[in-house]
A = this chain, B = another copy of it.
């Protein structure tokens, strides 16, 4: 049986666990109490944690992440102002992560969806669609297969450079949600 490792037991981590389970994957779920001695079991590792937590996790587990697919789902928003993203304007959280994990295949995915849409597999009347950016076609394809098997749609959004646009989109959606312009079971749907 194939195994995924998910860091984070919040709304997003729980929803993504459901997707992997629906695709018949086993899930190792880790929380903030995880110690450096923990053995990472998953061929796909999902970092379903807030952006500031990425530094500590990569510091501890970069060796174990080698050769694995590492999925960044963060929306690295300045939550004090809700008015900007934290990474450099010409970069992204995912690009920063790839720099820290040169021997892993970093993907950006799930960040343009609210947790509720991942669970219901719908955005309004539309099938929920996960956009995936990354430089490894094989890694994107492996993650897309899991998502599609679970009953959602998945689209290759391009190279890891496109993580910048995915993070802009996730930020915009979140800011509009917080401002009451979107409901958290609505949001951005993608029609092919």
List residues of A whose CB falls within 8 A of some B CB.
83-84, 88-90, 123-126, 131, 155-159, 161-162, 164-166, 168-169, 171-172, 175-176, 179, 181-183, 186-192
> A157 to chain B: which residues have CB within 8 Å?
172, 176, 181
Minimum CB distance partner of A185 in chain B = B191
In the bound complex, do residue A166 and residue B158 qualify as a contact, i.e. CB atoms below 8 Å apart?
no
Asked whether, in the complex, the Cβ of B179 is within 8 Å of the Cβ of A190, the reply is no
Instruction: Please state the number of chain copies in the assembly.
Output: 2
Residues on B with C-beta less than 8 A from A88 are 89
- A84 contacts across to B, CB distance below 8 A: 161
Choice from B123, B131, B155, B172 contacting A191 with Cβ under 8 Å? B123
| Contact in complex: B175, A162 (CB < 8 Å) | yes
